[in-house]
Structure 1
Amino acid sequence: MNIDTQAVQTGLEWDTRTGALSIPIYQSATFRHPGLGQSTGFDYSRSGNPTRLALEQGIARMDGGSRGFAFSSGMAAITSLLLLFQEGDHLVVTEDLYGGTCRLFDRIFTRFGLSFSYVDTTDREEVLAAITPSTKALFVETLTNPLLKFADIPALSTICHERGLLLIADNTFLTPYLLRPLERGADITVYSATKYLSGHNDTVAGLAVVRDPQLAEQVYFHQNSAGAVLGPQDSWLVIRGMKTLGVRLDRQQENALKIARWLQRHPQVTRVHYPGLEEHPDHDLIRRHARGFGAMIAFEVESHSLVEQLLLRTQLISFAESLGGVETLMTFPEGQTHADIPPELRARLGINDVLLRLSVGIENVDDLIDDLNQAFNKRETTV
């Protein structure tokens, strides 16, 4: 079954009694036992809730894993996965990743004895050089935030599995609709479901999918014990959003390519990062492994004054920090999403004071280009 069909069908098998096409929202903290020592399969909603389970089964099918897990946010999902490790363990990590993930690693989990090395995970030799006897996992973003470098999951999985390491792939930007990392050798995928999977900027959620059933049992133990689970109302919202994932991403990618090409030609734009452009260094690699290039664009303008001008003077495009929804959003990574990355690392990576990140929505692309054009051309009037 095609993945877009799988997404639409999520939850349809649940209410066989009434035939409801929309999974009910089981807004219950606890469940009555049918008898002593008996259970319906649901006892307490932290341990399991029918609406959440429908979402978890749906994302597991879409990703090709043994089991899925729904958390209260993407960061809660990553936090629960880090509970797989113990004091003294070391992880090799994508260097240009989301600043909140970097903050979680460096300012929280280092206090509990974990250590992290940040490398360019598109460079096999850098990855190999960073592995130590205490390394237990490689954590990558399949398409990095914000510079849009692509991780070669099959090559990285070979490195990991030859050395007994876990490969954890944050697949938020591409989603299983465009890339299924578990099929290419990853052990765990993780998502900020706030973004493309829910797709409407109306809920905060995180998802993880595990390939190996025994490893999935460990993840469930931590999910249940730590309790950062997704509530039934938000689970329903993510299910509803996932049903239109395919049609939304098709439109968003189409828009993104047209906008990226327009930005390339603009005299005040000095650089465009979008893997759908033939000039992108990972363009051919993504074409081999993924079904598309996503709908995120990063671009640099010729001066910092243009950054504020564009952020504040666009009329359709909102100045906001999230991404992946139907509305087009723009943000300034250096001062917002990636402010927690050390300044010297930001400078080396190219996350600078002229870089903007654009999350392309489903609006008419001509209207979006017109909005960008008028923001570029607007000038303060002097009296």
Structure 2
Amino acid sequence: MADAWGIHEAQFWLRDQAPQAPVHYDAEAGIWCVYGYREVQHVLGTPSLFSSNTQRVIPQEMMEGQDRFKEGNLIQMDGLEHKKLRGLISHAFTPKVVADLEPRIAELTHELLDALPRGDRMELVDDLAYPLPVIVIAELLGVPASDRERFRDWGGALMESTQEFSFAEPSETQRQRLREAMDKVALLGDYLREHVEDRRRDPRGDLISKLVEAEAGGERLTDDEVVNFSNVLLIAGHITTTMLLGNAILCLDTHPEWFARVRADRALLPAAIEEALRYYSPFAGTARATTAETELGGERIPADSLVVTFLGVANRDPKVFTDPNTFDPKRDPNPHVAFGRGAHFCIGAPLARLEGRVALNILLDRFPDLRRAPERPPRFLPSLSMTGVRELPLLL
């Protein structure tokens, strides 16, 4: 069946140059775009040349007031500093810890589906794909899952702010949108700070308590570090799974022959999830900053340049993937980079995969005729860096 969502891809992250040039400079946006799979692997696997600290190359007028988000921001760290902080949370995502969460994930999935209004419809994102991973990560951190709509408002501002943007000549409208987004993220930081201060007084068994009590390099983390660390975990800890669930259903519904096969043989579901991650990569792009002049894909990239690796495009590189625009859960091997690569490989990837498998299995068990509502097309996230549905109405 033809891909019904190609228009969305063209609008959000495919570029005309991608099939011909693995690296391209977008003068209007002020960024180097990396499309080729091998080139993306090189960027993500060479932090000495491509630093995660992108804030230092972004125009200063755009960074006004953002120093408060720097301490403990794992996404912006490199080297030993990143390794130390990442090590503090690695114990929360070990294979055993993740596997032990399966009964709770199944319980939550049933609870959310039991709460559906009587009828033959559901809205996948609001009813399941958003609340499930938020509740899981909130319980891990130790914050009330009942506050999840507040998290959604605060974190959603970041998605809105990553719409079409120019780092070369940012408009006042773009600056204002970014300031408003950061103000909302600050509200989430204030909320988390209350929990951090509470755990210093009364530690418990949750992840915030463990971060408060942890040491990195012989020193305790500051409140700012714990707050920003928790902020990243809360936002990034649910977005990937939310998009994974929506994208997987969208892929299967668009390819009914595969939907029928997965319904009949659930052993195919993990491979279908992996192919959905490749076909609609949740984080379509991720940024790095060059530390020195370097050559990549036949182009000379100056030092202190902003480089964006387009993971969604790399995952359709015909040099690596046969028939890349075909959704094929039997694809083997499937070395997609949807979760990144190298030191910043998504630490929550095993949890996202588990949540996806458990939730989709239960959905198909309870609603064997599940399909997209034909009269209401899906709505996509308004973000250049993310590929996922904001709304996906389904018939049960």
Which TM-score band applies after superposition, normalised by the shorter structure? under 0.3
Larger proportion of helix: 2
Q: What TM-score results when the alignment is normalised by the length of structure 2?
A: 0.24
Larger proportion of strand: 1
Q: What TM-score results when the alignment is normalised by the length of structure 1?
A: 0.24
